[in-house]
């Protein structure tokens, strides 16, 4: 691993409280690799051999059953996947593939479990990380269960607007097919939802979206901090 990559990994909340000796021991067992776009990294049902940490790029988590496939989430730097399977020494419940060229740190699962046993600060950080992941899943479940497709899209656009400077000009971070899957919709339903939002000032130019009446869009979307605020 290059020395310049270590501070980026160390800054991850999961590792920042570890003792220096345990962190160095963990990193000595790790592998840093670069992967091309659209490469399947893990497959659901396989044993969890590594904890993956995204250093550069973006990784899509997805699942398949009965001929259907759905995007479950996107992991960007500096983020990990799939921690629960690693700790339980269980199989992956999701698959993962690169969305673009990615640099990933791979830490053997056995070493993660050893560090969990031997470093109290690391163990506490893992519990907090898993609790945060659980709360994200609850929010996503509420989003799917309590909102219509149009409301889900409207709230997602408002969230992207906050992330990108709140100037009413959005660049979708994913292609529309992936966005539809994230929102639990088909591409056709996503297109209809965008059309429904036109009277609320949502103008679509490919992957660029203009929000020309944010107040009206918020009235429709009714943002809820217990679903939409990442800090709750």
**Given this model, what pLDDT does residue 98 score?**
97
Name the residue with higher pLDDT: 99 or 7: 99
Structural domains counted in the chain: 2
Sheet holding 202-205, edge to edge: 169-171, 208-211, 202-205
Average pLDDT of span 1-13? 68
Whether 6 has a pLDDT exceeding 80, the answer reads: no
Whether 182 has a pLDDT exceeding 70, the answer reads: yes
Q: What is the mean pLDDT of the chain?
A: 93
127 and 104 within one domain: yes
Q: Residue 42, by phi and psi: left (phi above 0), alpha (psi -120 to 50) or beta? A: beta
d(CA 177, CA 191): 10
Whether 205 has a pLDDT exceeding 70, the answer reads: yes
Q: What is the CATH number of the domain that holds 220?
A: 1.10.10.10
159 and 84 within one domain: no
Structural domain containing residue 216:
147-228
Average pLDDT of span 13-35? 89
Whether 2 has a pLDDT exceeding 60, the answer reads: no
Q: How confident is the model at residue 97 (pLDDT cuts 50, 70, 90)?
A: very high
Q: 120-146 and 149-163 helices cross at what angle (nearest 10)? A: 130
Question: Highest mean pLDDT: which of 3-7, 8-12, 28-32?
Answer: 28-32
Tens-digit pLDDT profile for residues 56-65: 999 999 999 9
Q: What is the CATH number of the domain that holds 138?
A: 2.60.120.10
118 and 181 within one domain: no
Average pLDDT of span 167-191? 94
Q: Confirm if 44 and 88 have CB atoms less than 8 A apart.
A: no
SS3 65: strand
């Amino acid at each position: 691993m290059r020395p310049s990559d270590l501070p980026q990994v160390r800054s991850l909340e999961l590792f920042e409280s570890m003792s220096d000796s345990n962190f160095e021991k963990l990193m000595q067992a790790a592998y840093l690799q670069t992967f091309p776009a659209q490469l399947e990294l893990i497959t659901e049902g396989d044993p969890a051999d590594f904890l993956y940490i995204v250093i550069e790029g973006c990784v899509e988590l997805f699942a398949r059953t009965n001929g259907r496939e759905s995007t479950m989430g996107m992991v960007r730097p500096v983020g990990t996947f799939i921690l629960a399977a690693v700790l339980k020494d269980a199989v992956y419940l999701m698959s993962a593939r690169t969305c673009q060229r990615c640099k990933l740190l791979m830490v053997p699962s056995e070493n993660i479990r050893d560090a969990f046993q031997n470093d109290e600060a690391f163990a506490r950080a893992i519990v907090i990380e898993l609790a945060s992941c659980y709360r994200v899943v609850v929010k996503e479940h509420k989003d799917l269960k309590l909102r219509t497709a149009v409301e889900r899209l409207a709230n997602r656009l408002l969230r992207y607007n906050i992330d990108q400077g709140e100037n009413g000009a959005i660049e979708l971070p994913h292609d529309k097919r992936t966005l539809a899957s994230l929102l639990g919709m088909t591409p056709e339903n996503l297109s209809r939802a965008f059309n429904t939002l036109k009277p609320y000032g949502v103008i679509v130019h490919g992957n660029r979206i203009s929000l020309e009446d944010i107040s009206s869009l918020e009235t429709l979307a009714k943002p809820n901090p217990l679903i939409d605020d990442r800090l709750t």
